[in-house]
Chains A and B, each alone.
Chain A
Amino acid sequence: MFGLIKTWKALEARGIMGINRRNADYVLKYNKRHLYPIVDDKIITKERALAAGIHVPEMYGIIETEKEIEKLDEIIGGRSDFVIKPAQGAGGDGILVVADRFEDRYRTVSGKIISHEEIEHQISSILTGLYSLGGHRDRALIEYRVTPDQIFKSISYEGVPDIRIIVLMGYPVMAMLRLPTRQSGGKANLHQGAIGVGVDLATGVTLRGTWLNRIISKHPDTTNAVDGVQLPNWDGFMKLAASCYELCGLGYIGVDMVLDQDKGPLILELNARPGLNIQIANDCGLTQRTHAIEAHIEALAKDGVSEDAETRVRVAQGLFGHVVQQ
């Protein structure tokens, strides 16, 4: 009992944010419920992003009904690689990444060979709402498969590493690089076994990482060091993330981005309830950073000014950048 209280106090002192605090003070406070569909439905997110001139993976087509599944071939066309996603999926569930064709069959990114029927079944499952939040009917989205930049080759196992930046009222507060592992099956979700690696907001250099709630500094599959890697085009990522506030209007979001080999930073999806493991990856609590931003916004509000995305990035980099690791 005493130990627990000590742990509690220590976590509090480090500003570690718990789920209850995240929900009460940030998600409920800053995220208006009526704006949720924008982030919960990837198709709407994509349309909004395109309208705002923000780069997203190209959408090949949408399947809305069972009947439309027949059009799958037409949508895919001659392409050999593509991604099928539920528009309202949560936590990366229900995503099918086809990397190549093999005779009449398809090969997924993990090397599994699947038939056309299996793909149709997957789409049908998506449509019936198996993967959607709340279980209601959904749409399937077929889009461009991102080819990760070569920089990640040494520190990721299959799949697409992505970059998650938590953005509070348009100010980036914390960033993390998520690297798929053998255990996560090519998915970049931490609860499925992917690695989260903290990123210095100012420089884009990776810090140490977290894997299954532990702190690590090497990739378990490739054994290459995950820290000290300079992410290319870092300011581009930061600006992309900061501008997502204008895009969706939600005050507390996790922005998931990828670095495509050819197309550069692209926005994959937005998350209205970003996870808390990013804190372990950065070895830093979120509460102090969010409080700093809130104080900054309050000061600005007093002067009656607001800042644009670029300024916000600079403010955040000034406040939280250049982390010195012990």
Chain B
Amino acid sequence: MRSLTLHLKVLITILVLLGVTVTCYQIFILGIPVTEDETDDLWNIDAKVEFVASPKDPVKIQMFVPPLNRDYVSLNESFISNNYGVSVNRTDGNRKVTWSARRASGNQTLYYRLVLTKRYSTEKAKIKGPTFRDSLAVEGPEKIAAEALMAPIRQHSADVETFVSETIKRVNNANDDNAKLLLAGDNSPMKKAQVIDLLLSIAHVPMEKVHTIRLVADTPQSPELWLRSFNGNAWLYFNPETGEQGLPSDRLLWWTGDENLITVDGGKKATVTFSMNNSEMNAIRLAKLTDENTDADFLEYSLYGLPLQTQQTFMIMVMIPIGVLVILVLRNLIGIQTLGTFTPVLIALAFRETQLGFGIVLFTVITALGLSLRSYLEHLKLQMLPRLSVVLTFVVVLIAAISLFSHKLGLERGLSVALFPMVILTMTIERLSITWEERGGGHAMKVAVGTLFAASLAHLLMTVPEAVYFVFTFPAVLLILVGFMLAMGRYRGYRLTELVRFKAFLKKADA
């Protein structure tokens, strides 16, 4: 007996550990969201290109599009353009779309649409970048001003990072005459970037211009200029106007380099307007969408890998152990009496179709009517099987009548009854009537109420959406449940109702 207990303890420990480990692995390593409410932003970016085509020349428009090599994952990308040929090519880490047409005239509108999300990106590729470059040629007073600026910058910096931010700070200092001279009265970010570039080139610090789009919904915007430098390990991003370091997480890198966003051959007045909106999507569904683009293949081995129809069934099935657990606790810990062992779970499943309140009413009505029929049949002295058949048929007729009646009354809810398991109802009626005869009405009522209560509780717990999601996503939780059930199998303590039942002892002891 002792060894059996030890055996059981080991078994429970293994099951619980296994369940916890697998679940933790899913949550922490695979990063599967714990609740269904956990959603991810889905960004929908539209770039609208407008220009006026020259009537005679062939048209060729080139525009940068995001290279998507950072944290973002593209779900869908489309180039909407009538009568234009489209090609996309990569150059120097940038991506460029080329629209071309032999003949076009008048106002032209082209669209580029990108749907992207941040999550489930692949491992970051090894980042490469230049760490050295030649100085840009600079002559005359600019050279002197630049060198004058360089000296304190060198003094105040320790590495690439501090060097760049110090440079940006100096250039942005409106009181610095050297900076003023270099800027030559142009305070645009573009000019500043150019000056910073010049200064850094003297120190052989590589620098790149980065054009970003901010992911903010419903605000029209134009690309924002950032600077970046490679320190040997990673790109460091700087705001050319403030010296602020680090790219905010809502920036999407669109292209790098000095070129303009768009170049148009055979057209003029080219403008690009960005508009974006975001929507939210369930994280899991999103992960499935990005499946082809990313390594969301861990979902392959979960229940999400099943066809949708089967998934629906499993969502119900994985909750049955929860319902059984409720019955187990109610019966063995609390001591509530129910009809049969798993009848309440079956009734709880039936409640899925009818909703709880209506289900209880229906259950009560049909059972009450069935009981009266059963007591009438008692007088006829029928054998059990024919009697059960009659009751079952009566239940079917009753359900049909209720469905018809409620349909006529316009209560669509009544139609859901059709799936209320009739056999369960019949057996409930039969057992209840036997209980009634043998143990009296009071006991039968107690059992019926206990059954309804257990079924309702099981139903409520089985339909908590968070719980359904959790168990369905992390089925290993069921192992933990089994561990608990095994432990319950050796539970020797009192049931709650026994405390009441044996109260007589205590009264005696007190007296």
Contact = CB atoms under 8 A, between A and B. Distances in A.
B505 interface: yes
A192 interface: yes
A10 B509 contact: yes
Contact of A118 (B381, B439, B501, B503): B381
Q: Which of A25, A118, A128, A326 counts the most chain B CB atoms within 10 A?
A: A128
A4 B335 CA distance: 14
B211 to A, nearest CB: 66
B1 A215 contact: no
Contacts, number: 82
Interface string B492-511: 11111011011111111100
B381 A121 contact: yes
A280 B504 contact: yes
Given A11-B505, A18-B493, A20-B491, A4 B499 contact: yes
A12 B492 CA distance: 11
A130 B434 contact: yes
A25 B434 CA distance: 31
Nearest to B427: A135
B434 A11 contact: no
A20 B502 contact: no
Given A7-B499, A18-B494, A21-B492, A283 B434 contact: no
A16 B490 contact: no
A10 B506 contact: yes
Contacts of A285: 505
Contacts of A191: 439
B332 interface: yes
A297 B381 CA distance: 52
A320 B232 CA distance: 88
A129 interface: yes
Q: Among B503, B505, B506, which residue has the most Cβ atoms of chain A within 10 A?
A: B505
Given A14-B509, A125-B384, A20 B495 contact: yes
B164 to A, nearest CB: 66
A210 interface: yes
Contacts of B332: 20
A149 interface: no
Contacts of A128: 383-385
- Kindly name the residue among A18, A29, A214, A280 whose own CB sees the greatest number of chain B CB atoms within 10 A: A18
A133 to B, nearest CB: 13
B259 interface: no
Nearest to A183: B440
Query: For the side of the interface on B, what is the size category?
Result: 20 to 34
Contacts of A102: none
B384 A130 contact: yes
Contact of B492 (A7, A18, A117, A280): A18
B501 A93 contact: no
Contacts of A295: none
A20 B504 contact: no
A279 B507 CA distance: 14
Contacts of A301: none
Interface string B320-339: 00000000000010010000
B139 interface: no
Interface in B463-511: 489-496, 498-499, 501-509
B92 interface: no
B505 A24 contact: no
Contacts of B438: 91, 93, 192
A129 B489 CA distance: 29
Contacts of B381: 117-118, 121, 124
Contact of A11 (B383, B492, B502): B502
Given A129-B384, A130-B384, A8 B494 contact: yes
B126 to A, nearest CB: 61
A284 to B, nearest CB: 9
Contacts of A292: none
A287 B496 CA distance: 18
- Chain A contact residues: over half helix, strand or loop, or mixed? helix
Contacts of A14: 505, 509
A143 B243 CA distance: 105
Among B335, B438, B503, max chain A CB count under 10 A is at: B438
Interface in A221-242: none
B491 A7 contact: no
B35 to A, nearest CB: 31
Contact of B506 (A7, A66, A214): A7
B496 A18 contact: no
Interface string A111-136: 00000011001001100111000000
B502 A16 contact: yes
B504 A213 contact: yes
B5 to A, nearest CB: 10
A283 B505 contact: yes
Contacts of B502: 11, 16, 213, 279-280
Given A121-B381, A125-B383, A128-B383, A11 B494 contact: yes
A19 interface: yes
A24 B487 CA distance: 11
Contacts of B507: 215
A18 B502 CA distance: 9
Interface string A189-229: 00110000000000000000010011100000000000000
A89 to B, nearest CB: 10
A19 B495 contact: yes
Contact of A213 (B489, B492, B501, B506): B501
B494 A24 contact: no
B508 A19 contact: no
Contact of B505 (A20, A29, A125, A280): A280
A88 B489 CA distance: 27
Contacts of B501: 213
Interface string B281-321: 00000000000000000000000000000000000000000
A4 B495 CA distance: 11
Contacts of A16: 494, 502, 505
A118 to B, nearest CB: 7
B384 A21 contact: no
B508 A20 contact: no
Given A16-B502, A129-B384, A192-B439, A24 B509 contact: no
Contacts of B509: 10, 14
Interface in A287-326: 326
Interface of A: 4, 7-8, 10-12, 14, 16, 18-21, 24-25, 29, 66, 91, 93, 117-118, 121, 124-125, 128-130, 191-192, 210, 213-215, 279-280, 283, 285, 326
13 contacts: A7-B499, A7-B506, A8-B499, A10-B505, A16-B502, A20-B492, A20-B495, A24-B489, A25-B492, A118-B381, A191-B439, A210-B504, A285-B505
**5 tightest A-B CB contacts, nearest first:** A128-B384, A121-B381, A21-B492, A18-B494, A7-B499
Given A24-B489, A124-B381, A191-B439, 19 more contacts: A7-B506, A8-B493, A10-B509, A11-B494, A11-B505, A11-B506, A12-B494, A18-B493, A18-B498, A20-B493, A20-B494, A24-B491, A91-B438, A128-B383, A128-B385, A129-B384, A130-B434, A215-B508, A279-B502
